[in-house]
Chain A
Amino acid sequence: MKLEGQVRIPSGCAIAAVISKDGNKMSGEMITNAMKPMHDRSNGLGGGFAGYGIYPEYKEFYALHFFFNERATRKNCEVFLKERFEIVKSEVIPTRKIPAITDEPIIWRYFVAPLKSVLASLQLDEKEFVARTVMKINTEMKGAYVFSSGKNMGTFKAVGFPEDVGVFYKLDEYEGYSWTAHGRYPTNTPGWWGGAHPFTLLDYSIVHNGEISSYDANRRFIEMFGYKCNLQTDTEVITYIMDHLLRKQGLSLEEAASVIAAPFWSTIESKPKEERQKLTYLRTVFSSLLVTGPFSIVLGFDGGLMALNDRLKLRSMVVGEKDDKVFISSEEAAIRVMEPNAKNIYAPAGGEPVIVRVKEGKF
């Protein structure tokens, strides 16, 4: 093995995202290509994408993407699913055989709707039910792993470089109004398919670059609310935090951003009274959900994206735009690949959320 000094060892992950504010559809090829100039930010141990608006014909159904270790596992899992859902479609996720991606598990997707009778007997709303089911499968069902569970969106990820992963999953054949992408340089978890980003729960997906120092404080807090951090990755815990804050607590994106990348107390002190009270309140109530250490994330959700840096801005992240499109990336190079004439390129400040929504009715 080559030692440090004989070989350059770059470090970091790569993230990129694009969204059309008018809801115009873009093929997944664009975001795949965007990852190419950031090749050195990954180490081939994980790449992935999330596309929104990609399943218009099944938009009323939860799209569950699965990795299965073997056929028997899938059969067992399907039995379990049928007890809880109506399965309207069940198919293998189409892939291309390419030399760069090997050892793939069984990659399957189901479009499902929860059984009303089950919902009624459990007294749960639909989303909570789906979230709990996903958590149950991922915790208890060995060899089965749900890696995408939203409506009209899907995650595609693998062990490999992201540009190869995009080709492998034939992303050029999907069209979405927003896309996020991730190239992984894992340092603290072994590279495996489920561990690649984006990490998702329901329609929330997260791509993340960083290693957060608050991990165990966040994990041990969020696990009080029924989440199980099976992967022990930062991204997983951030996803659950966002789900908890946005879906369960009903915070707005800005409010959630002010929890995980809370302004410093000195900054809060300088705000006008009403805002000061609110920020103090959120920071006090959700103090265990403050995320420290370097991160840049893009949160994908139904109808929009939010990009956010840690409050010290310890990871690079730039934003640019052109016409109806907004681009976000670890490096400007990726934006230039997607749109050579992108304008207004800037680096958002630490803790400053960049929220982009598709216009009402356009997605």
Chain B
Amino acid sequence: MSVEFLYPEFEVIRNDNRCIACRVCERQCANVVHSYDSDNGIMLSDETKCVNCQRCVSLCPTRALKIVKSDCTLRENANWKDATIKEIYKQANSGGVLLSSMGNPNPLPVYWDKILINASQVTNPPIDPLREPMETKVFLGKKPEMISRDENGKIKCDISPQLELSMPIMFSAMSYGSISYNAHESLARAATELGILYNTGEGGLHEDFYCYGENTIVQVASGRFGVYKDYLEAGAAVEIKMGQGAKPGIGGHLPGTKIVGDVSRTRMIPEGSDAISPAPHHDIYSIEDLRQLVLSLKEATEYKKPVIVKVAAVHNIAAIASGIARSGADIIAIDGFRGGTGAAPTRIRDNVGIPIELALASVDQRLRDEGIRNNVSLVVGGSIRSASDVVKAIALGADACYVATAAVLALGCHLCRTCQSGKCNWGIATQRPELVKRLNPDIGSKRLVNLMTAWRHEIKELMGGMGINSIESLRGNRLMLRGIGLNEKELQILGISHAGE
């Protein structure tokens, strides 16, 4: 025991002067941190179980609780950091691969924070979005290279299927199973109200949510869970998931304990069986195979729906994207290395893949160099945290952004990064009914709508400042960006100048 002991990461600080022993904390903690000592009429806590999800802190009516980082320290060592040593202890205890959730938390460069946005002064007027129209509508999909006319000289307006978005943001893939029914309902309802799309992830589409089909992207991943004709036809678009930013090169594993009831039915696999998504699609070992799947899905949906190919941002992403652009896909989604996950091996999450900013810049430039940028739309995700990240992504060349972490934060997630435990106290990353009900979709969808509405306002303000009144004039407009504290190589890859230039 002693050698296995790890001092708790967090301390539960309870202000006894404030605590009224209402026991709300106790009732709300699925990790059973809090308990009531009826002999003394006081609350107790077992900090070894605390994951710092902040549920108790948020619900304590007298603000008697806070969770702080434990200051029990190992001897400081710049090479052997506390977390590194503890990971070794954990592995020595368990013999297993370390698992983590949500995006890479390590202090790697966040290029968004090193890019600054322009504004108009004197020579070109800023535009006030409160007084002038400011357009954020985008269409995603393949655009024709040449227009054509009918025998009367009229332009033929038939075009490959397009996704219409009221703003350049979509909720990215999170499967039913990895997140709860109520989380999905919140996303689906918010997407519908906002005129954007959400994404089923690889867990199939619950029968209750077919009604939100026009605002749904249905995903086809390597496990093919829940994929059948009606599913493909239910969505506005079909996404082939080749990879995920948090775990490029590996598949997924939803433990059998989460494959219960509706999750099992929706995934179309027996209750209690592990849902294992293979690392590759076993019918796609090369680009020509991808083309076949793209075309098969188009055939199955009668060429009425755009096909998205989602890939993780890896080293040769530009060449991969160029291949995808020629595969018949309508939209390429690229997921950067800071993207979230419900569970991934820690080593993979923290060490594999590249930042989305660099991936986006090189892909956009490569597609332009090859003259095929208009053949596909580019959607990027992997830690888009704010309206300014969106604006920077669009200016670097994206058509739209995928957000997921920001969306689950709006739903209540406090980024405790223990989704893999299945005991999400906020009712998001869990299938336990008593926890799932903590997320009321009336509240969840409203908060998502609020968040996106706020971002849309901010995007408009930023655009207006630049003198741009439509989002398409921002797309790829890299002159509107400047780097700060970046080296020549980084600037070259991003295709932007340094501040002051």
**Assembly CA distance A44 to B426 (angstroms):** 67
Whole-angstrom distance between the Cβ of A297 and the nearest chain B Cβ: 15
CB-based nearest B residue for A220 = B476
**Assembly CA distance A294 to B123 (angstroms):** 9
Interface residues of chain B: helix, strand, loop or mixed (majority): loop
> Could you pull out 30 A-B pairs where Cβ atoms are within 8 angstroms?
A211-B123, A213-B120, A213-B124, A213-B466, A213-B468, A213-B473, A214-B468, A214-B474, A214-B477, A215-B479, A216-B478, A217-B472, A217-B473, A224-B371, A278-B154, A280-B157, A281-B155, A281-B159, A282-B155, A285-B144, A285-B159, A287-B138, A290-B472, A291-B473, A292-B468, A292-B469, A292-B470, A293-B124, A294-B125, A294-B467
Residues of A within 8 A of B192 (CB): none
| Inter-subunit contact A287/B139 (CB<8 Å) | yes
Contact with A along B138-180 (1 / 0, CB 8 A): 1100011011010000110101001000000000000000000
Closest 9 A-B residue pairs measured CB to CB?
A214-B473, A213-B467, A216-B479, A287-B472, A217-B477, A292-B473, A281-B157, A211-B124, A216-B477
Q: Cβ of B485 < 8 Å from any Cβ of A?
A: no
Task: Name the interface residues of B84-127: CB closer than 8 Å to any CB of A.
Answer: 120, 122-125, 127
The listed residue (A188, A224, A311) touching B123 by CB distance below 8 A is A188
| Inter-subunit contact A224/B468 (CB<8 Å) | no
Task: Name the interface residues of B224-271: CB closer than 8 Å to any CB of A.
Answer: none
| Inter-subunit contact B155/A216 (CB<8 Å) | no
Q: Cβ of A250 < 8 Å from any Cβ of B?
A: yes
**Assembly CA distance A356 to B158 (angstroms):** 31
**Assembly CA distance A57 to B161 (angstroms):** 52
Residues of A within 8 A of B135 (CB): 264-265
Q: Known: A11-B122, A284-B162, A312-B127. Is A255-B480 also a contact (CB below 8 A)? A: no
| Inter-subunit contact B132/A312 (CB<8 Å) | yes
| Inter-subunit contact A278/B468 (CB<8 Å) | no
Q: Known: A225-B371, A284-B143, A285-B143. Is A277-B478 also a contact (CB below 8 A)? A: no
| Inter-subunit contact A293/B470 (CB<8 Å) | no
Q: Cβ of B373 < 8 Å from any Cβ of A?
A: yes
Q: Known: A281-B155, A285-B144, A287-B139. Is A217-B123 also a contact (CB below 8 A)? A: no
Q: With contacts defined as CB atoms under 8 Å apart, how many contacts are there between chain A and chain B in the complex?
A: 111
Q: Cβ of B347 < 8 Å from any Cβ of A?
A: no
Report A's interface with B, CB cutoff 8 A: 11, 187-188, 210-218, 220-221, 223-225, 249-251, 255, 262, 264-266, 277-278, 280-282, 284-285, 287-288, 290-294, 311-312, 314
Residues of A within 8 A of B474 (CB): 214, 217
Whole-angstrom distance between the Cβ of A271 and the nearest chain B Cβ: 13
Task: Name the interface residues of B374-433: CB closer than 8 Å to any CB of A.
Answer: 374, 397
| Inter-subunit contact B478/A220 (CB<8 Å) | yes
Q: Cβ of B368 < 8 Å from any Cβ of A?
A: yes
**Assembly CA distance A151 to B124 (angstroms):** 35
| Inter-subunit contact B470/A290 (CB<8 Å) | yes
